[in-house]
Structure 1
Amino acid sequence: MSSVVRSRPQFLGVLKQQFRQFLAVGPEISVETLALVAASFFTVFCNTAFFREVIALGALHGARGIGTGASLVVMIGALNMLLLCVLLNRWTAKPVLTVLLLVTAAAAHFMSQYTVYLDADMLRNILHTDGKESGELITLGMLPSLVVLGVLPSLLLWRVRLRRRPLGRALLVRVGVIVLAGVVASGAALVSFQDLSALMRNHREVRHLITPGNYIVSLVRVMRDDQAGRDRPRTPIGTNAKVIGRPAGARPRLLVLVVGETVRAQNWGLNGYARDTTPQLRHIAPINFSNMTSCGSATEVSVPCMFSPYGRAHYDKDKIEHSQSLLHVLEHAGISTLWRDNQTGCKGVCEGLAFESFEHATDPQSCTAEGCMDEVMLKGLSEAVANKTGDMVVVLHQLGNHGPSYYKRYPPSLRRFTPTCETPELGKCSRDEIVNAYDNAVLHTDDFLARTIRVLAEQSGRDTAMIYLSDHGESLGENGLYLHGVPYAIAPDTQTRVPMVMWLSPGMASSRGIDQACMKRESAEPVSQDNLFHSVLGLMQVKTPEYDPALDLFRGCTASG
């Protein structure tokens, strides 16, 4: 034992010496040559998702397509060269390139496996995802890409010795190389200008598959927007809002808004799906809106949008993110609000208002070390409501069907569709296994909503209602797409069509004069998340200039008009 212990420092010393020798024997090259090698590597080996998509669009078809493809390769390589020449110098080249190699390897893996477009919205989603969710994406399946595209090139990089140049000469060479890279990129674009301009004009989203430029540019935009957001207060809206038409002594109202996660309309039983994924709701028979469209294809877009008065019809990202929300309007009107969260926060919707997170809850019945089932948000809900007088709106933000680990989103008792995909590496599962796990998770949302309705039905001192609306849908392998977050302009229906249901207690329906049979007849008409803001204000009888009666889903079936 003692000899083994004594040999460990010797072994580490030998290993350290060998590593130093490994690094010392590499060739000596200039930073510009290193940038050229790295740019070529990124272009050829890390952009397979981009070229696969361009081929699928037919842009490289025939003899003319070969020329277009060659122009794309040269143009992307030159742009990568230009980018690296801006980022690298003799002191930063190795650490910066090491980070770029590792991050680009991960990006290439996710783009190839899930067809992820790394635009600013997607990068914002990634940065705002908590450790538990992001940990599900880090699997053994990404190890080959990480090793081949990241680790091995990094080891070779550290063998290289970078040539020293006098400062004046180094600046002159660098400026010349940058100018040359710009000329080459422009020339390559001009050679196939007609085809390339048509590709980028008709399919602008493909540029978000060109790495590493996609995530670098998106990161800069996110950081810029976040900095602007920190320095800019939210614009107040509805400051003069007030509740109207309520007789003295009227029973207080309680509305629960359930913000769903990643449930798509196509797998919603109440919408006519072949499987009954909503058996408990079918028995309850709420108002089901079967033709509902989301504002975005990701949480970071949809949640702020659905709680704003602007919506998708007048979408203005900057205006939405820097304005108060529906919840603030309700507070201005004297209606208490509470956001209960089993996700990654309220995305600014509840800023400055009552907020409870269940991310680290320890309830033994609902939680494990990996997180909590959504029903944890119902714990103590009645007590929280009892502590408030007057009208109240509570938001329950679900973990829902958040992928790719659908199999973790439901208890064993709801594992009804089998066999299921039991790994976040969706490429290892058949599509039937993926859909089975996903549908079981939809069953859990059905169970959660039924539980919520039962809690509301027991509120004998209040008129109650529930509105459920999923934030966005999900791709389950259709056309090679998985998960969500595809740019909205090209997002498939599976990511933008979502379920929505409403339940009203007899007291709520009566006090508001709402004809539920009328609403059920109208529920097949096209609606969108734009309707949520105005429908909630209408239901709670809040008068404010921001309210648009044309978007109030209750108005046409309410006795008062």
Structure 2
Amino acid sequence: MQASAQAKGHKRWDWAGLGWLFLFFWYFSGVTQLLIQLTDTTGFVSFRQAFLVSAIWLVPVLLFPRRTKTIAAVVGVILWACSLVGLGYFCIYGQQFSQSVIFIMFESNMAESMEYFGHYFVWWMIPVYLGYTFVAWLLWRKIRPLEFGVTQARVLSVVLLLGLIGYPLAREVSKRPTLGVALEKFEERIEPAVPWQLVVGFRKYRQQLDSMEKLLAENAKLAPLDAMKDSRAGKPTTLVLVIGESTNRQRMSLYGYPRETTPELDKLRDQLQVFDNVVTPRPYTIEALQQVLTFADEKNPDGYLTTPSLVNMMKQAGYKTFWITNQQTMTKRNTMLTTFSEQADEQYYLNNNLNQNARQYDGDVLEPFAKVLADKAPRKLIVVHLLGTHMRYKYRYPESFEKFTDNKGAPKWVTEDQLATYNSYDNAVLYNDFVVSSLIKRFSASKPDGFLLYLSDHGEAVFDSPKGGVIGRNEGKPTSPMYTIPFIVWASDKWKTHASFDFSSMLERPYSSSNLIHTWADLAGLSFSELDRSKSLVSNRFIVRPQIIGDPYEPKSLIDFSLIKPKKIQLNKDDLAASRP
């Protein structure tokens, strides 16, 4: 009977053989993903997707069982070769491989690549690679032809194809406005697994590079600013612009928050000009910086495409320009950011993680910052773009900065479920304080003739109100914390000898960071026809204007920030909870 059943293709299900095969194919994605999970580098999504996608390689083995060992060997060698890239990158940088890495590889020359390799390579990587390869070989030896019948094999193959490709793709097509967008979302599902992280990564890199090159080509055609004059022409000068991320000034003790979240900046307060009435025009990084770094505003939202940027302006004034960024480099969302950075003479890209929600510390900017400060160029502009307090907050600071762990100093309305997130945001602000203050201290130690300006791109709501439990940013439902940003200026003693630095009468001026380029030019001693000193926060010609927020492409959505600004920003003692046992 058994022989008859087998002859008809009804063999038993060979789950053990299938398990060894799956383990072999998953191994090449799984080792790196497991290391990422064990080190808490990022969330669980990439691990889950790599686990699921690895099962697709079972299909050819199920359909051609007699060639199981050969198919597994060929596929295995391809997966092994591709996986070495991601594994090696994680061992060196502690980050997940992405298209940003491909961008850095192609942007670097051979000398730079060898310098990076020599700096990070350690001897133990050789036995790691050898051990990794040896285990793959052992798994391959455990593989055997599956004892499935023809019917079972075909049914299981169809189930795998429908479950891993058919259903997810159909679901994306039904949800997305175009087939192109659906395919991009589907690619995100398979990208964590090898070899797709290389295949998809390279395709994304080429797509985003084309978009960036078009933007840069258009930028290169822009006419220079008219009739520019520089009061510092020919004099050694170093200017630093530090752009924060998602930091709401209402959560900084520098601005009166009851928790000591900015102890280092608090110590420096006598050296700082702390402006306390500045808001961002939009609560999203790209949209905000399109205005902050250019002459664009709510009346001319496309101005970032048609007028010079702050970097262009400083290059025209004779400055060598540097861009140090801990933001993701080459993603579709961040193409505009990379375009701004590529306008600079030199770039340092530090964050090449696949996901934004990954452990990445802003302290990484300090080493390249010191290197740029030592550059022999007499006139330098240094832009430092931080990851700041971006979600997920727990990934923004090392364990040593986990200071806030209970509800002491938190508002009474923060629930037990919300407390961990509320605290992690304050811890992120605490670490951001360390980074920004360290930049100031290192800048000061270099004895520069110049100033440093720090502001955040936008704020962030993290249970700051007793109503609604709001977290994150939503332009359609604006709240004060999404828009209130820190804005501070530090100047060296040399700078103060020839430039006014007493802005005490100006610190409470209502201001939108959309006009930053006018303030920056004024501070730097530049003048040109396009400069409007009535939009300079530090000018005697300053004119108070409504702080307009909203989407400029939907004029009806634009409102004055005063309409959402609370009457009382700082917390009273009555609002604070006592520490629970």
- TM range, smaller chain: 0.5 to 0.7
Hey, what does 1:18 align to over in structure 2?
Answer: 155
Give, in whole Å, the separation in 2 of the partners of 1:352 and 1:551: 25
Structure 1 position 511, deviation (Å) = 1.4
- The answer to whether the aligner puts 1:233 opposite 2:218 as a matched pair is yes
Q: Kindly report which structure 2 residues correspond to 1:315-464, keeping only aligned pairs within 5 A, or say none.
A: 315-316=300-301, 318-345=302-329, 346-353=337-344, 354-360=346-352, 372-404=360-392, 406-419=393-406, 430-460=417-447, 462-464=448-450
Structure 1 position 371, deviation (Å) = 5.1
How many residues end up aligned between the 2 structures?
Answer: 357
Hey, what does 1:276 align to over in structure 2?
Answer: 260
Structure 1 position 232, deviation (Å) = 6.8
> Letter of the aligned partner of 1:351 in structure 2?
E
Give, in whole Å, the separation in 2 of the partners of 1:236 and 1:537: 18
> Letter of the aligned partner of 2:267 in structure 1?
H
Hey, what does 1:494 align to over in structure 2?
Answer: 481
Hey, what does 1:290 align to over in structure 2?
Answer: 276
Q: SS of 1:530's equivalent?
A: helix
Judged with a 3 Å threshold, the aligned counterparts in structure 2 of structure 1 residues 230 and 243 are, in CA distance, closer, same or farther, namely closer
Give, in whole Å, the separation in 2 of the partners of 1:13 and 1:528: 69
Give, in whole Å, the separation in 2 of the partners of 1:541 and 1:231: 27
Contact 2:231–2:526 under 8 Å retained in 1 = no
Structure 1 position 104, deviation (Å) = 6.9
Give, in whole Å, the separation in 2 of the partners of 1:273 and 1:527: 21
> Letter of the aligned partner of 2:321 in structure 1?
T
Structure 1 position 293, deviation (Å) = 0.9
Identity across matched positions, percent: 23
Structure 1 position 98, deviation (Å) = 4.3
Structure 1 position 402, deviation (Å) = 1.2
Hey, what does 1:306 align to over in structure 2?
Answer: 292
Hey, what does 2:493 align to over in structure 1?
Answer: 506
Cα deviation code 1:286-325 (max 9, x no counterpart): 111222111211111112210011234x241x33245431
Contact 1:241–1:542 under 8 Å retained in 2 = no
Judged with a 3 Å threshold, the aligned counterparts in structure 2 of structure 1 residues 228 and 360 are, in CA distance, closer, same or farther, namely closer
Structure 1 position 399, deviation (Å) = 1.1
> Letter of the aligned partner of 1:358 in structure 2?
L
Cα deviation code 1:497-540 (max 9, x no counterpart): 2111111112212211332xxx1332122111123211111111
Q: TM-score, normalised by structure 2?
A: 0.54
Judged with a 3 Å threshold, the aligned counterparts in structure 2 of structure 1 residues 492 and 237 are, in CA distance, closer, same or farther, namely farther
Judged with a 3 Å threshold, the aligned counterparts in structure 2 of structure 1 residues 277 and 12 are, in CA distance, closer, same or farther, namely farther
Q: SS of 2:275's equivalent?
A: strand
> Letter of the aligned partner of 1:446 in structure 2?
D
- The answer to whether the aligner puts 1:263 opposite 2:257 as a matched pair is no
Q: TM-score, normalised by structure 1?
A: 0.56
Give, in whole Å, the separation in 2 of the partners of 1:452 and 1:376: 11
Judged with a 3 Å threshold, the aligned counterparts in structure 2 of structure 1 residues 243 and 382 are, in CA distance, closer, same or farther, namely farther
Q: SS of 2:446's equivalent?
A: coil
Give, in whole Å, the separation in 2 of the partners of 1:394 and 1:241: 24
Contact 2:350–2:365 under 8 Å retained in 1 = yes
Give, in whole Å, the separation in 2 of the partners of 1:465 and 1:506: 10
Q: Kindly report which structure 2 residues correspond to 1:81-92, keeping only aligned pairs within 5 A, or say none.
A: none
Give, in whole Å, the separation in 1 of the partners of 2:216 and 2:339: 14
Hey, what does 1:470 align to over in structure 2?
Answer: 456
TM-align CA RMSD:
4.1
Structure 1 position 22, deviation (Å) = 7.6
Contact 1:240–1:333 under 8 Å retained in 2 = no
Give, in whole Å, the separation in 1 of the partners of 2:457 and 2:429: 14
Structure 1 position 370, deviation (Å) = 5.4
Q: SS of 2:242's equivalent?
A: strand
Cα deviation code 1:94-145 (max 9, x no counterpart): 978742515778x9xxxxxxxxxx9xxxx9xx99xx99xx99xxxxxxxxxx
Hey, what does 2:512 align to over in structure 1?
Answer: 528
Q: SS of 2:147's equivalent?
A: helix
Give, in whole Å, the separation in 2 of the partners of 1:247 and 1:329: 14
Hey, what does 1:483 align to over in structure 2?
Answer: 472
Give, in whole Å, the separation in 1 of the partners of 2:158 and 2:499: 81
Q: SS of 1:555's equivalent?
A: coil
Give, in whole Å, the separation in 2 of the partners of 1:481 and 1:288: 27
Judged with a 3 Å threshold, the aligned counterparts in structure 2 of structure 1 residues 226 and 319 are, in CA distance, closer, same or farther, namely farther
Judged with a 3 Å threshold, the aligned counterparts in structure 2 of structure 1 residues 464 and 282 are, in CA distance, closer, same or farther, namely same
